[in-house]
Structure 1
Amino acid sequence: MQVYVNGRFVPAQEASISVFDHGFLYGDGVFEGIRVYGGTIFRLQQHLERLYHSALCLMLDIPMTPEAMRDAIVETVRRRALPNQYVRVVVSRGAGDLGLDPTLCPQPSVIIIADTIALYPERYYTEGLDLVTVATRRVSSDALDPRIKSLNYLNNIMAKIEAQQAGVVEAVMLNAEGYVAECTADNVFVLRQGCLHTPSVAAGALQGVTRDSVLEIARGLGLETAESFLTRYDLYTAEECLMTGTGAEIVPVVRIDGRRIGAGVPGPVTARIREAFAALCHQDGVRVERAEPAHVASQA
């Protein structure tokens, strides 16, 4: 297995960055998680746009064009030689000193890893999972815009720890006003009276690529959709609930804070969305074997 590190492919066990890198020291950087399905890099263009928009907001100059980044991702996937993969693209501020000053980091670091991932056991996809709401609140949108997919996930990790302490694998995070924001690594949806709701970005939700895909799929299935301000009441009284994310894909939720959601089993609308999403994943993206050869330097 090879990893792309600053223009070169190196064996995974040799891949490294400086201990003075501000991504390591301060979480100063951005990232994307991208899925590959049957050789198709799902919605690569959307992921690239979000990566570069996040970097722009941090005044972080990615040292390669989006086209060059695309080629590097394609080549990394090609070298991994697996039909289904999870790709992690990381752009950090780069090496500086032990202070905060980002201007002392002259060259950002770019790392691309292609491997596999399984966030949840298979039984959760067929039986559904339980969630709890946690005390850790989502960082306020007026402090850090949730559309910036930064390397600093401590807020999410603290919520994840609370979920584990409660005996479940995932948690619902609320914002400071008590509105539902997202789960620790996934967006959340509820079906209420024929409308599929998901928290608004203004409430603290990441504008996920899978989230946007599910909204499109739902409209294609004839469902109303809404980006809403939701409370726990809306979760508890939902007919169905599901989580979405690049790593998790689509996971049905059957219980929240001890309350049974709907019939307490994965619902029919969730099943239809999962089926449509599985088909979309193999249709919408970049086919690796058809991509132009990437002009990326390789270690001999």
Structure 2
Amino acid sequence: MKIWLDGKLVEQEEAKTSVFDHGTLYGDGIFEGIRFYNKRVFRLEDHMDRLYNCAHYLLLDIPYTQEELSNAVCETVAASGLNDGYIRLVVTRGVGNLGLNPFNCKRSCVFIIADKISLYDPDVYENGLALITSSVRRNRPDTVCPQVKSLNYLNNILAKMEAVRQGAAEALMLNDLGNVAECTGDNIFIVKDGTVFTPPVTDGCLDGITRRVVLEICRELQIPAQEKTMNRFTITCADECFLTGTAAECVPVTKLDGYQLGSGKIGPVTARILARFQELAQTTGTSC
């Protein structure tokens, strides 16, 4: 496997970073998860815009232009030999000393991986996913901003651990007010009386790229959709529910904490959205 590391493609065994990198020492860095289908990168520009916005917020200098890094993504995809796969684009603060001060790091480190990924068993996409509600609350937006896709995922990992220990593949995360934020790696949507609802980013969820695509699909298919603050009660009373994320794509949900959601099967609105998403993913994107 070839890895793009700081400007060149190297073999996986040669793709090494320093133990003094602040990405390793402190989780100081950002990343993007990106999908490609039929050797076309899906929503590449949106992902790159978010990456550079996050870097700006963290005063993290990326030593490549957005165009150069987009070309590097395509170069990595081409070198992978895969038709479909997942891209992990990572920017770390770079090498510094053992102190916390990020301004001691002279140059950030950038690497890109193109590989396969599978978050859930294939039958989940047919039969639906069962969630638990995590006791781990989502970070407050005024502490660690959820709009920053940072390398520090400890908050989400703790919730994921809780789900796995309870025999579930995914966990619903609430914010400090007890309202729904997101799941450990996915945005959440429900359908109630024909309308699609999802929490606003101000409630602690990531402004997911797939989330944006779903809202666009709703407008295209003339399905009413809106952002709305929701709690656990709202989810348990939903007619339909599904999750979205770049790695997960679109995943139907049929249970929460043992409650059956709606019919307990993939609902008609969810099915329409999932079908249109797959069509867009397979037919659009940046060619590599």
C-alpha separation between the residues in 2 aligned to 1:224 and 1:26?
43
1:60 shift after superposition: 0.2
**Corresponding position of 1:229:** 229
Q: One-letter code of the match for 1:159? A: A
C-alpha separation between the residues in 2 aligned to 1:27 and 1:6?
19
1:282 shift after superposition: 2.6
**Corresponding position of 2:37:** 37
C-alpha separation between the residues in 2 aligned to 1:280 and 1:165?
36
The runs of at least 4 aligned residues of structure 1 exceeding 4 Å deviation read none
Q: TM-score, normalised by structure 1?
A: 0.95
- Once the two structures are superposed, residues 17-49 of structure 1 have per-residue CA deviations (whole angstroms, 9 ceiling, x without a partner) of 000000011110000000001111000000000
C-alpha separation between the residues in 2 aligned to 1:75 and 1:277?
25
Q: One-letter code of the match for 1:219? A: R
SS of 2:253 mapped into structure 1: strand
Q: TM-score, normalised by structure 2?
A: 0.99
- Most deviating of 55-64 and 141-150: 141-150
C-alpha separation between the residues in 1 aligned to 2:221 and 2:235?
22
For 1:243-254, list aligned pairs within 5 A: 243-254=243-254
C-alpha separation between the residues in 2 aligned to 1:39 and 1:14?
25
**Corresponding position of 2:91:** 91
The reply on whether 1:125 has 2:98 as its aligned counterpart is no
1:182 shift after superposition: 0.3
**Corresponding position of 2:24:** 24
The reply on whether 1:143 has 2:143 as its aligned counterpart is yes
Q: One-letter code of the match for 1:210? A: T
C-alpha separation between the residues in 2 aligned to 1:275 and 1:223?
14
Q: One-letter code of the match for 2:37? A: Y
C-alpha separation between the residues in 1 aligned to 2:221 and 2:49?
27
C-alpha separation between the residues in 1 aligned to 2:39 and 2:106?
36
Contact 2:88 2:113 in 1 (8 A): yes
**Corresponding position of 1:156:** 156
SS of 2:279 mapped into structure 1: helix
The reply on whether 1:14 has 2:14 as its aligned counterpart is yes
**Corresponding position of 1:293:** none
For 1:193-232, list aligned pairs within 5 A: 193-232=193-232
1:190 shift after superposition: 0.4
Contact 2:194 2:269 in 1 (8 A): no
- Once the two structures are superposed, residues 262-283 of structure 1 have per-residue CA deviations (whole angstroms, 9 ceiling, x without a partner) of 0011111111111100111133
Structure 2 unaligned residues grouped into runs of 5+: none
C-alpha separation between the residues in 1 aligned to 2:226 and 2:144?
23
* Matched length: 288
Two-structure CA RMSD over aligned residues (Å): 0.7
Q: Percent identical across equivalent pairs?
A: 49
The reply on whether 1:242 has 2:225 as its aligned counterpart is no
C-alpha separation between the residues in 2 aligned to 1:216 and 1:71?
26
Q: One-letter code of the match for 1:32? A: E
**Corresponding position of 2:81:** 81
- Once the two structures are superposed, residues 117-152 of structure 1 have per-residue CA deviations (whole angstroms, 9 ceiling, x without a partner) of 111110000000100101100000111221111110
**Corresponding position of 1:65:** 65
Q: One-letter code of the match for 1:107? A: R
1:165 shift after superposition: 1.4
